[in-house]
Amino acid sequence: MSEELDDLYREVILDHTKHPRNFREIANPTRTADGHNRLCGDKLKVFVKLIGDKIEDLSFKGAGCSISTASASMMTEALKGKTLADAQDLFTRFHDVLTGPPDIATDAEDLGKLAAFHGVRKFPVRVKCATLAWHTLQAALKNDSTAVSTE
């Protein structure tokens, strides 16, 4: 990845850290789930409002590091209005870019702004920060009340 693209990605992550989108509690959510990254101290709760198989609204609350906060913010933007199948597909592609073999990781560009997290794969401890919100959303969509942990 070029240095200019890396700089742009850093700016995107910083913007979502300083000004997280959808950082609020949804009134009367259909589903919720709690997540905790014990290693970094990130804690968040994901709120989902489903209508049929569509994510009508999606938000989060909590406290975490810059990677965790930016990832949760960008996840909510990317998945609002999407179907459950779309959400599962994006989760898989995002997770593969961060944890999969290097040839999969090169396909990060098709993730749009979420490609900003491509460089996180170099830091396995930070991968847990970037994926916490996503795993927590998966639990919420499965209506699993067990708190998600990255351990």
Q: Which of 139, 145, 101, 120 is nearest to 40 (CA)?
A: 120
Residue 95 has pLDDT above 80, yes or no: yes
- Residue in the block written with tokens 């699993």: 144
**What does each C-alpha distance from 83 to 51, 118, 120 come to in angstroms?**
10, 24, 27
Per-residue confidence (pLDDT) for residue 148, from 0 to 100: 92
Alpha-carbon span 141 to 56, nearest angstrom: 13
Alpha-carbon span 51 to 108, nearest angstrom: 30
Per-residue confidence (pLDDT) for residue 112, from 0 to 100: 86
Q: Span 1-5, mean pLDDT?
A: 54
Alpha-carbon span 108 to 99, nearest angstrom: 12
Instruction: Give yes or no for a contact between 77 and 59, defined as CB atoms under 8 angstroms apart.
Output: no
- Residue in the block written with tokens 């933007």: 77
pLDDT digits (tens, 9 = 90+) for 4-37: 556 667 888 999 999 999 999 999 999 999 999 9
Go through 96-127 and write b for each residue having 16 or more CB atoms within 10 A of its CB, e for each that does not: ebbeeeeeebeebeebebbbbbbbbbeeeebb
Report the predicted TM-score, pTM, of the whole model to 2 decimal places. 0.92
- Residue in the block written with tokens 């920060």: 129
Q: Which of 142, 148, 145, 134 is nearest to 68 (CA)?
A: 134
Instruction: Order the strands of the 42-51 sheet from edge to edge.
Output: 54-63, 42-51, 31-37, 148-149
